[in-house]
A and B are shown apart, each in its own frame.
Chain A
Amino acid sequence: MKRRDFLKSAAVFVSGASVSISALEIFEPGEILAAAPELRWAFLVDTYKCVGCGFCVKGCKIENDIPLEANVTRTWVERYVLTKDGDVVADSPKGALNGFTSNLIDQNASGMKKIADTDIAQAFFVPKLCNHCETPACVQVCPVGATYQTADGVVLVDRTWCIGCGYCIMGCPYGVRFFHPVEKVVDKCTFCYHRISNGQTTACVQACPFGARQIGNLRDPGDPVAKAVLTQRVGVLRDEYGTKPHVFYIGLNMEVR
C-alpha cells in the first residue's frame, strides 16, 4: 500500500467512525431522570383567598414541634396595607400565629399605626414559607453538607450534621431559616416532607379553611398546582436573585417584598 492510499483510507475511516460513534451516544437513564424527574414539589398561594386567620402558622408549629411562643416560625403571614397616598405599611405580629385581629399595624419601634378605612387603597395578606428554590443559595453556602436538595426538589437540613454556623440563615434571600431554640440547629420549612412523602398534604395546606395554600407536583400535567402555574398569571418572590423559587403566588403585588 502506498503512503498516499494509506493516509486517504485512514482519513475516511476516522471521519466515518467518528460520525457513527457520535450518532450512537448512549444515554444514561439516570442522567435523563435527573434532568426531568417525575416529581418536583411546588407550592401555590392564592393571596386573594387568604384572610389572615393564621391557622396555617399554628398548624405548622404544632406539626413540626416549633415552640409556639418562640419568636421563630417556618411559615408566617404578612399583612400589607397600601394607602391612597402610596404608602406601604406591613406587619406580621408573632408571624400571625394568632391571626390578625386588630386594625392597628405593628410598626415595631415607632409603635402601633392606625390607618383610617377611608385612606386604604388596598389591603391583603401574603403567606410566606420556604421557596424550595431550584438553585438554593442557602445550600451552596453550607460548609459541611448539612443542608441539601432532594431529587424531588425539597430543601432539607440534616440535624445530626448541622454545626449551626448560620451561613445559610444569612444566605437565604427570603429569610425563611432560623435557629431552632430546642434542637440547637438551623431549621426551616420542609414542605412537611414526612406528610407529602406518605400521601398526605402539608400541615399548613390541610389547616387552611379557604384553600389559599396548595401543594402539588409540577411534573404531573393533571395536578391542580401544575395547571395553575402553567395557565394562570403567577408570580414569585425576588426573581432577581436567580434562585428559581418554587412557591408561586396568585395576585402578587410589586409592593410585596
Chain B
Amino acid sequence: MKNHVWRPLFVVIGLVVFILLVRMLYVPVDFNAQEKGYTFGYHRLSNEQEWKDYPAKYKESGYCLECHPENTATLAESAHAMIPCENCHGAALQHPDAPELLTVDRSRELCVRCHSSLFMPSSGRSAIPGIDPAEHNVDELCSDCHNPHNPSLEEM
C-alpha cells in the first residue's frame, strides 16, 4: 500500500503514545481504585491524609477548663451548663499563643438564638424561657442585667 495511506496511522499511534506518556507522568502513583472499588473509591489515596491534617479550630470545653477553673463551679450548677465555652467566647484556635485574647460575643443576637420566644410545639424550643427581642429592653445588652454563667432570674 502507498505511503500516504500509512502516514496518518503513524500519526495516530504517535499521538496515543504521547497521551499515554503524559498521563503516566501527570497522574499520581497512588491514584487508583481503593477499598470502595472503582465506582466509589477511585481517587488519590494521599488526599485522605490531607483532609486528616486540616487544622482544627475548636478545642472543646475540656481544653478551656485546664487553665480557667474560675467560672466552672457556678456554670456547672446553672441552666447554661450545657453550652460549650467556645459558643460565646469564640473558637480557641491556637490560644493562648494565637490569639492571646479571645473576643467574647456579648451581642443580643447571640442570646436570642435560643431566647427569642417562638411557638414551636414538638420542639425543645418551647421549653426555653423566651422574650420578644423587639420589645425587651431594646437598647441594652443582655449581659448588663443577666449573668450568662448564672442566668437564674432569682439571683439576678
Contacts and interface: CB of A to CB of B under 8 A. Distances in A.
A binds B: yes
B113 A123 contact: no
Given A193-B52, A198-B56, A148 B84 contact: no
B83 A52 contact: no
Given A99-B113, A156-B47, A124 B58 contact: no
B43 interface: yes
Interface residues of A, number: 61
A194 B54 contact: yes
Interface string A133-145: 0011001100001
B124 A210 contact: yes
Interface in A216-244: none
A100 to B, nearest CB: 6
A48 B58 CA distance: 26
A62 interface: yes
B122 interface: yes
A250 interface: no
Contacts of B53: 194
Q: Classify the secondary structure of B's interface with A.
A: loop
B35 A59 contact: no
Nearest to B93: A62
A201 to B, nearest CB: 8
Contacts of A49: 124
B51 A102 contact: no
A209 B87 contact: yes
Given A63-B58, A200-B56, A209-B83, A124 B122 contact: yes
A206 B83 CA distance: 9
Interface string B30-54: 0100111001111110011001111
Contacts of A47: 123
Interface string A184-223: 0000001011110110110100110111100000000000
A127 to B, nearest CB: 12
Contacts of A147: 43
24 contacts: A49-B124, A51-B120, A51-B125, A59-B87, A62-B57, A63-B91, A98-B109, A100-B125, A103-B119, A117-B119, A120-B119, A120-B121, A122-B121, A123-B120, A145-B43, A148-B40, A150-B35, A151-B34, A156-B47, A160-B47, A161-B44, A194-B54, A200-B56, A209-B82
Interface of B: 31, 34-36, 39-44, 47-48, 51-58, 60, 82-84, 86-87, 91, 109, 112-114, 116, 118-125, 128, 133
5 A-B pairs with the lowest CB-CB distances in the bound complex, closest first = A99-B113, A148-B43, A194-B54, A151-B35, A101-B116
Interface of A: 34, 37, 47-55, 59, 62-64, 98-103, 117, 120-125, 135-136, 139-140, 145-151, 156, 158-161, 190, 192-195, 197-198, 200-201, 203, 206-207, 209-212, 251
